[in-house]
Amino acid sequence: MRLFSTSSSSPKPNFPLFSPSQNPKRSTSKTLPPFKTRLPSPSFLSLPPCTANSSPSFPVLDQGADREDSLEPKQDTFKKVLVVRRPVMDVSGEENDDGSEDGEAEGDDVISKPSGIDAGLEEFAKKMPLFEPERGESGGTVEKPLAVNLDLSLYKARVLARKYRYEEAENILEKCICYWPEDGRSYVTLGKILSKQAKRTEARAVYERGCQATQGENPYIWQCWAVLENKMGNIRRARELFDAATVADKRHIAAWHGWAVLELKQGNVKKARHLLAKGLKFCGGNEYVYQTLALLEAKANRYEQARYLFRQATKCNPKSCASWLAWAQLEVQQENNRAARLLFEKAVQASPKNRFAWHVWGVFEANIGNVDMGRKLLKIGHALNPRDPVLLQSLALLEYKHSTANLARVLFRRASELDPRHQPVWIAWGWMEWKEGNISTARELYQRALSIDSTTESAARCLQAWGVLEQRAGNLSAARRLFRSSLNINSQSYVTWMTWAALEEDQGNSVRAEEIRNLYFQQRTEVVDDASWVTGFLDVIDPALDSIKRLLNLDQGLINKAREPSKDAESIEDGAEEPFLTTSLGLNDGNDIGYGSRFDLNAFIKDKLSLDPSKLDLLMENSGKSSPKRVTSPRRMWRSQTRTTMTLP
């Protein structure tokens, strides 16, 4: 028999208001008056504990019934809690015939009337996502893909970027950022792709968005952003971003190395050593660490220390092509040709398809008189890397020097079609046409090079060569303007200063020539490097690569010492630097060393690279016919027009 009548159904499940010890008990007597229950404490977020020793808040009417039903209220209450936490299900309060749900129905009847606690619980439930049925029933939220899809998408985007399908790669990366905004790899990859297209403002916005999404804890985004600002000339901002990268992760070796390279470019050698030492302390040494230190020692003419550090670098990673090539070029500088050749051999064995290894080795052999060997090495490099314009450029200059100008023009044209924005190709081509007496063609080619970018070191060399052309043509005022423009870009060029001074000397202005020479020595940046050196330096990735190309250039070193007049007299008399060396030996990459090795080049390329040495010329011809032209986007065409700051004198 029940004390209260129950409704057939309850409109909506509610939070249980009673603990098992506080639920009303059924009674066998009909004459007992209804009793009043005591409400729980105001803290409705927690239920009062239910223990065996806790006394009920109302008198026990029937001890036997209490013993029989001692477990039933607990089970019913637990069921009610489960029902309440599943709001999407429609819970009815209909009675069962056996009366097993009497307690539940009674509870529903008691709490069906609104009360202060009911209102509070209802407001609380509205604020909790657990109590919102729309999230569980409607398909409004998009289900997040598995994490493996992120790795696959990033790989696909990189492949598309290598094929110059930038728009498709950007769309994929934007989706990755939408699904995984907390992953920094998408921002880094997208920023690099935008930077390759010279969309530096967009790349900066991507990096900034990535830092905000990752709450500033991803050092890779900070470091890539710093490299971008460094390329744009914002040195102070780049320092701040490198600092932020090292704060985010002091073990991020690329940040320490990139920052050190920045300081080296600014002439702060001691600061660079300090940063590299910190990187060594936190990250440990690797081949790039020792390689960077070795190059600093070579710049300071401490060659034994440099060799020791190169040896340590190659021990750390025998497959490090950069370390072997840098060591080889050190031996080239010291005229140790046998050691250099052995190092080049180890280089191609460590990285058989590395375009820099074949390129630098081919140039080395051509410069020491092994023209056929140099030509063969450059052709092997081109067969392995048919889209590299620098290999074709060096091969064109080699053919011009030892063969015919027409063959060189064919190679120059093919190189310019592979990469229309590669300035050294246009400069070298213009230099060749000037030597052939085609002045108007040379001017057009020089202007084409400057239309790509008039602020780079290549542009400075182009302006200097163009100035010499105008000087020989008798346009002295134009030549002076071009020399001045070149020095505005690179004020440390010894050849440009001395060429200008020679022009004034030829015109009888000896006083002006002496002033120009004095100006060079006054403004020359003197970098003093102490003899103390740290046996460890680091670097590990690509911010370095472009910076290291300039850092390691043996012809245009970072320290910018005045060249010996005996070495530069020939180039000054000739008027312009021959682009063969300045454009071909711009990168120091390294390889392995193994003295006494017998290296069979033909057998090596046949076994490792599946190339037939007798068919290299045929491969050259076929690659020229079937090589796809690089697509130039409309925006690039627009940039090339807007950045044309130089006009024909």
Q: Which residue has the higher pLDDT, 641 or 229?
A: 229
- Give the per-residue pLDDT at 120: 65
pLDDT of residue 144: 74
Phi then psi dihedrals of residue 349, to 5 deg: -70, -35
pLDDT category at 620 given cuts 50, 70, 90 is confident
Q: What is the mean pLDDT of the chain?
A: 74
Q: From CA 455, how far away is CA 453, in angstroms rounded?
A: 6
Half-sphere exposure of 175 (CA within 13 A, CB side): 16
What angle (nearest 5°) sits at the alpha carbon of residue 525, between those of residues 522 and 529?
Answer: 130
Q: Is the pLDDT of residue 113 over 80?
A: no
In angstroms, the CA 501 to CA 186 distance is 52
Element of type H or E holding 568: helix 565-574
Q: Which domains does the chain have, with CATH numbers?
A: 453-527 (1.25.40)
- pTM of the prediction? 0.61
Summarised one tens digit per residue, pLDDT across range 246-275 is 999 999 988 988 898 899 888 888 888 888
pLDDT of residue 77: 44
Please give the Cα distance from 180 to 255 (Å, whole number).
24
| Each residue's pLDDT tens digit, 226-237 | 999 999 989 999
Does residue 501 or residue 99 have the better pLDDT? 501
Candidate from 109-118, 431-440, 493-502, 528-537 with smallest mean pLDDT: 528-537
* Chain centre distance of CA 96: 68
Per-residue confidence at 125, pLDDT binned at 50, 70, 90?
Answer: low
Q: How far apart are CA 341 and CA 594, in angstroms?
A: 10
Q: Which of 232-236, 360-364, 473-477, 550-554 has the lowest mean pLDDT?
A: 550-554
376 vs 382: CA distance, rounded Å = 10
How confident is the model at residue 67, as a pLDDT?
45
Integer Cα distance of 399 and 385 in angstroms: 19
Helix 457-473 to helix 439-452 angle, to the nearest 10 degrees? 160
Query: Distance between the two ends of the chain, CA-based, in angstroms?
Result: 113
For the chain, percent of residues with pLDDT exceeding 70: 63
H helix intervals, 214-336: 219-231, 235-248, 253-265, 269-283, 287-299, 303-316, 321-333
Which pLDDT score, from 0 to 100, does residue 47 have?
44
Coil, helix or strand for 524? coil
Express each pLDDT in 408-465 by its tens digit. 999 999 999 999 999 999 999 999 999 999 999 999 999 999 999 999 999 999 999 9
Tens-digit pLDDT profile for residues 571-601: 444 455 555 433 333 333 333 344 445 789 9
| Distant-in-sequence, close-in-space partners of 37: CB < 8 Å, separation ≥ 6 | 18, 22, 24, 57, 58, 110
pLDDT the model gives residue 66: 45
Mean pLDDT of 316-338: 93
| Residue 26 half-sphere exposure toward CB, CA atoms < 13 A | 20
Length of the chain measured in residues: 649
Which residue type occupies 266? Q
Q: Is residue 526 very low, low, confident or very high in pLDDT (cuts 50, 70, 90)?
A: low
**What digits encode the pLDDT tens for the residues 292-317?**
888 888 988 999 999 998 998 899 88
Taking CA atoms, 318 is separated from 254, 361, 514, in Å, by 21, 18, 51
Place of tokens 């093919």: 414
Angle between helix 457-473 and helix 476-489 axes, rounded to 10 deg: 170
Sequence-ordered alpha helix ranges (H) in 524-564: 543-551
